[in-house]
C-alpha cells in the first residue's frame, strides 16, 4: 500500500516546481578514481551516524586466478557529504576481481561486516569482519571451500534464527552459463556451511542476480533469481518452507530476456505484493513484472519511451516523495541514467530529465542521504568502458517526509519461551538489492514481570524479525515496534501476544447464519498506555455490526437475544470483513482506576435470523 499521500495544495505546488528542473546534479568534489567498479554499497561502517561508500572493483568476467584483480575501495563520510579514501581499512588479503559487495552483520555484534562476490574462478569470495570502528579483518577462511565465478551475493535470514545466511551465484562469464547456485548457512558467528545439496533444488540456471524477497507473503524470505536463461526459464523462483528449504515455483519462468542482468523488488502497484523492476524485460527495454501469486505467471509490462539500450542496474526510489516507488535504470552506453515516475498503481511516465545527463558506463547504483538533508542522493559505479569515474549526484528535490509503510505483521496467539517472535514487513523510500534503509527497534513488557528493549534483525527486502524475551511463566507480551528511516520519519506498530485476566466472557450470544454465534474476545492487558484489541469472529461475512459499550451490566431480553451491557456508547455500522471478523484496536488510557469494569457486545446485521440481528457474547473488561 502507499506510504502516504500529500494532501495540501502548497505541498503539491512545491513538488511540481521541484520536478520541473534537474533534481539529481553531479557533485564534482567526490575523490577521483580510475578503476573498474562493478558494485556499490552504502552503509555506516564506523558508527558515526553518516553513510559511507564501498566500491567493489574488478576488471574481468569469468576468467581464473588473479585475472581482473583490483584493490577494493572505502570512502568515509564526514557527515556533510565530504569523503576521504580509507581503502587501507579493508584488510582483504590482496587484490581480487570483485563483482559485488554487501554489508550485513554476519557475526551478530551490531557492526556491518562485508562479503564480496569474486568473478574469477579459483579466487574465492571474501568475508571481512568489522571491529565496530570501520576497520575490517579478513575472515574468508570461515567460508566454504570451492571455486565460484560470481556476479552476485545476497544476505538474508532463511531459517528464522536471527542471523544472516547467504546465497551466492556461480557461472559469471560475460555471456554466462547454467550452473547450480549456492546456499550458505550461518551459525551466528559468521562461520558458514554449504547446504546447497540438502536445502536447494538441483537446478542449473544462468544466474546474474539473486535476491531474498517474501514473494508469497508467508513471512519467510524466498529466493528470486534473474539471468540470461533460455526461453521458458528466464527467471527462477525458489519458495522457502520457513526453515530454509527451497523448492521451485513457476511464477517467474517467463520474466526477463536473454539480455537480463538484474531485477529489484518493491510493491509497485499498491496491492501489498512485491513486483519486479526488470532490466531488459523485453529485448533491451526495461519494464516491470506484476506479482499475481505463486501459482500464476507474472504479468510483464514495458516502461514508456525513451527506453532501451545497454542498461545494467535497476533500483527503486520514491524520488518525488508521493508515497510510491519510482524505478531507476543505470545505463552503460546510453546518454545518462533513466527514471520512470510511478502514479501509485503501476502506471509509469519517463522523467529522465530529473537526472543530470552524463554519458558514462554505469554498472551499479547506490542511494543514500549523504549530506544529512533528508534527501536520498545517487552514487554510480563505472566499469567496462570510459574513464571509470564513479560519481555522486546530489538530490535537490523534496525532502522525505513520509513514514515507513508497515505492509503486514505476523505473530503467534500465545507467548513462547525463550522468545516470542513477531515478523514485520516494511517498505520505505529506497529499495536497492533487497535493502530497505530503516532501523527497527522495540520495547516490551510482560506479566512475569519483565520489561526491556531491543533491535530487530533483518531477514531480507524489508522483512524484519522481532524476538522478544519471554519466560515460561509469562502469559502475555505487550510490544511496541518503531520503524525509523534515515530521514527520521517513524512508524509505530503495537502488538499484543497472549492472554490477560483483564477479559471475561459473560455469555449471552444469539446465533446467526449457519447456526454460528459471533464470538467476541479481548486481547491486551488493559494497563495504562497498553495496546489492546476487541476481536469478533464467526459473524456473517461482508455484513455490518453495531458495537455496544456500557459501564454497567444490564442482561435484558432484546431482539430475540440478551443485551448484556447498558448502552452507554454505540458504534453503528462497523464493517465485517470477508472472513466474518471485526477487529477494533485501541490504547488504554492512563488514569483509569484498577478494577474499573466495562462490558462490550456486538449486534450483527443478519437477514437469516429473527429481527435481522445476531449477537455476540458479552465481554467484560477490567482495568489492571
- Render pLDDT for 371-400 as a digit per residue (tens, 0 to 9): 999 999 999 999 999 889 999 999 999 999
Query: Which of 154-158, 187-191, 483-487, 499-503 comes out lowest in average pLDDT?
Result: 499-503
Average pLDDT over residues 158-170: 97
Burial of 278-306, coded b for 16+ CB within 10 Å and e otherwise, reads bbbbbebbbbbbbbeebeeebebbbbeee
| pLDDT over 50 (residue 436) | yes
Neighbours of 420 (CB within 10 A): 24
| 3: CB partners within 8 A, 6+ apart | 318, 323, 324, 402, 403, 404, 405, 427, 428, 429
Q: 3-state DSSP call for residue 613?
A: strand
Q: 278-313 pLDDT, tens per residue? A: 999 999 999 999 999 988 999 999 999 999 888 999
Average pLDDT over residues 526-552: 95
Q: 444-471 pLDDT, tens per residue? A: 988 888 889 999 999 999 999 999 999 9
Q: 5-35 pLDDT, tens per residue? A: 333 333 334 344 334 469 999 999 999 899 9
pLDDT of residue 339: 98
Average pLDDT over residues 161-182: 87
Query: What mean pLDDT is reported for the chain?
Result: 93
pLDDT of residue 19: 42
Q: 575-591 pLDDT, tens per residue? A: 999 999 999 999 999 99
Query: Which of 266-275, 552-561, 599-608 comes out lowest in average pLDDT?
Result: 552-561
pLDDT of residue 499: 78
Please answer whether residues 620 and 598 qualify as being in contact, where contact means their C-beta atoms are separated by less than 8 angstroms.
Answer: yes
pLDDT band at 173 (very low <50, low <70, confident <90, very high): low
Look at domain 501-623 and name its CATH class: mainly beta
Q: For 535, left (φ over 0), alpha (ψ -120 to 50), or beta?
A: beta
pLDDT of residue 7: 34
- Tell me the percentage of the chain whose pLDDT exceeds 90: 83
The arrangement of strands across the sheet holding 519-523 comes to 519-523, 531-537, 582-587
Please answer whether residues 558 and 584 qualify as being in contact, where contact means their C-beta atoms are separated by less than 8 angstroms.
Answer: no
Query: Which of 62-66, 106-110, 408-412 comes out lowest in average pLDDT?
Result: 62-66
User: Environment class of residue 207 by beta-carbon count within 10 Å: exposed (0-12), middle (13-18) or buried (19+)?
Assistant: buried
pLDDT of residue 274: 98
pLDDT band at 146 (very low <50, low <70, confident <90, very high): confident
Average pLDDT over residues 401-417: 96
Domains 402-499 and 501-623 share a fold: no
Write the DSSP string, 315-337: EEE-TT-SSS-EEEEEESSSSS-
CA angle 312-318-319, nearest 5°?
85
Q: Domains of the chain: which residue ranges?
A: 24-395, 402-499, 501-623
Better-predicted residue by pLDDT, 600 or 15: 600
Architecture, CATH, for domain 402-499: Sandwich (2.60)
Q: What's the CA dihedral at 458, 459, 463, 467 to 10 degrees?
A: -70
| pLDDT over 90 (residue 120) | no
User: What whole-number distance in Å separates Cα of residue 315 and Cα of residue 400?
Assistant: 17
Average pLDDT over residues 515-529: 93
pLDDT band at 335 (very low <50, low <70, confident <90, very high): confident
DSSP annotation of 70 = B
CA angle 204-288-359, nearest 5°?
95
pTM score of the predicted model = 0.84
Q: 217-276 pLDDT, tens per residue? A: 999 999 999 988 777 889 999 999 999 999 999 999 999 998 898 999 999 999 999 999
Q: 3-state DSSP call for residue 230?
A: coil
First to last CA, the chain: 36
Closest among 276, 262, 275, 338 to 307, alpha carbons compared: 338
User: What residue spans of 182-295 are helical by DSSP H?
Assistant: 196-199
Fold of the domain spanning 24-395: Methylamine Dehydrogenase; Chain H (2.130.10)
Amino acid at each position: 500500500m502507499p506510504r502516504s499521500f500529500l494532501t495540501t495544495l502548497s505541498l503539491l505546488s512545491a513538488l511540481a516546481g521541484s520536478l520541473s528542473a534537474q533534481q539529481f546534479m553531479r557533485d564534482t568534489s567526490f575523490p577521483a578514481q580510475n578503476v573498474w567498479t562493478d558494485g556499490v554499497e552504502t552503509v555506516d561502517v564506523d558508527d558515526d551516524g553518516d553513510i559511507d561508500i564501498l566500491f567493489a572493483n574488478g576488471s574481468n568476467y569469468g576468467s581464473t586466478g588473479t585475472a581482473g584483480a583490483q584493490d577494493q575501495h572505502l570512502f568515509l563520510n564526514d557527515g556533510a557529504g565530504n569523503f576521504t579514501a580509507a581503502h587501507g581499512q579493508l584488510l582483504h588479503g590482496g587484490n581480487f576481481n570483485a563483482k559485488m559487495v554487501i554489508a550485513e552483520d554476519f557475526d551478530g555484534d551490531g557492526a556491518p561486516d562485508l562479503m564480496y562476490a569474486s568473478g574469477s574462478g579459483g579466487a574465492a569470495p571474501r568475508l571481512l569482519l568489522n571491529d565496530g570502528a570501520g576497520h575490517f579483518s579478513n575472515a574468508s577462511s570461515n567460508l566454504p571451500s570451492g571455486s565460484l565465478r560470481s556476479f552476485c551475493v545476497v544476505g538474508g535470514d532463511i531459517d528464522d534464527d536471527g542471523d544472516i545466511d547467504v546465497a551466492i551465484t556461480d557461472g559469471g562469464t560475460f555471456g554466462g552459463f547454467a550452473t547450480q547456485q549456492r546456499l550458505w548457512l550461518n551459525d551466528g558467528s559468521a562461520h558458514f556451511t554449504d547446504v546447497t545439496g540438502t536445502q536447494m533444488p538441483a537446478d542449473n540456471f544462468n544466474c546474474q542476480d539473486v535476491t531474498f524477497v517474501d514473494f508469497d507473503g508467508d513471512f519467510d524470505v524466498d529466493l528470486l533469481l534473474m539471468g540470461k536463461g533460455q526461453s521458458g526459464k528466464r527467471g527462477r523462483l525458489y519458495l522457502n518452507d520457513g526453515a530454509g528449504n527451497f523448492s521451485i515455483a513457476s511464477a517467474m519462468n517467463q520474466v526477463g530476456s536473454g539480455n537480463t542482468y538484474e531485477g529489484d523488488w518493491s510493491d509497485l502497484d499498491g496491492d501489498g505484493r512485491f513486483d519486479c523492476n526488470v532490466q531488459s524485460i523485453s529485448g533491451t527495454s526495461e519494464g516491470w513484472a506484476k506479482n499475481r501469486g505463486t501459482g500464476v505467471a507474472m504479468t510483464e509490462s514495458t516502461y514508456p519511451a525513451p527506453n532501451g539500450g545497454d542498461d545494467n542496474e535497476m533500483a527503486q526510489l520514491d524520488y518525488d516523495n508521493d508515497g510510491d516507488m519510482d524505478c531507476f535504470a543505470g545505463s552503460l552506453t546510453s546518454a545518462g541514467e533513466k527514471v520512470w515516475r510511478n502514479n501509485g498503481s503501476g502506471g509509469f511516465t519517463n522523467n529522465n530529465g530529473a537526472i543530470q545527463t552524463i554519458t558514462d558506463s554505469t554498472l551499479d547504483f547506490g542511494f543514500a542521504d549523504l549530506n544529512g538533508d533528508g534527501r536520498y542522493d545517487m552514487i554510480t559505479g563505472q566499469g567496462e568502458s570510459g574513464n571509470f569515474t564513479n560519481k555522486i549526484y546530489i538530490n535537490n528535490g523534496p525532502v522525505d517526509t513520509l513514514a515507513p509503510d508497515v505492509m503486514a505483521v505476523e505473530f503467534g496467539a500465545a507467548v513462547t519461551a525463550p522468545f516470542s517472535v513477531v515478523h514485520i514487513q516494511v517498505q520505505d523510500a529506497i529499495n536497492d538489492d533487497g535493502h530497505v534503509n530503516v532501523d527497527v527497534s522495540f520495547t516490551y513488557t510482560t506479566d512475569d514481570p519483565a520489561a526491556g528493549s531491543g533491535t530487530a534483525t533483518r531477514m531480507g527486502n524489508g522483512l524484519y524479525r522481532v524476538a522478544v524475551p519471554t519466560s515460561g511463566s509469562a502469559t502475555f507480551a505487550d510490544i511496541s515496534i518503531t520503524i525509523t528511516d534515515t530521514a527520521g520519519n517513524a512508524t509505530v506498530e503495537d502488538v499484543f501476544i497472549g492472554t490477560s485476566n483483564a477479559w471475561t466472557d459473560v455469555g449471552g450470544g444469539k446465533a446467526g447464519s449457519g447456526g454460528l454465534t459471533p464470538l467476541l474476545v479481548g486481547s491486551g492487558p488493559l494497563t495504562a498506555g497498553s495496546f489492546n484489541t476487541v476481536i469478533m469472529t464467526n459473524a456473517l461475512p461482508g455484513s455490518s455490526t453495531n458495537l455496544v459499550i456500557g459501564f454497567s451490566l444490564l442482561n435484558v431480553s432484546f431482539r430475540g437475544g440478551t443485551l448484556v451491557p447498558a448502552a452507554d456508547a454505540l458504534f453503528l455500522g462497523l464493517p465485517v470483513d470477508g472472513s466474518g471478523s471485526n477487529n477494533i484496536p485501541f490504547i488504554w488510557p492512563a488514569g483509569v482506576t484498577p478494577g474499573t469494569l466495562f462490558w462490550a457486545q456486538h449486534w450483527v446485521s443478519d437477514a437469516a435470523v429473527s429481527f435481522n440481528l445476531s449477537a455476540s457474547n458479552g465481554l467484560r473488561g477490567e482495568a489492571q
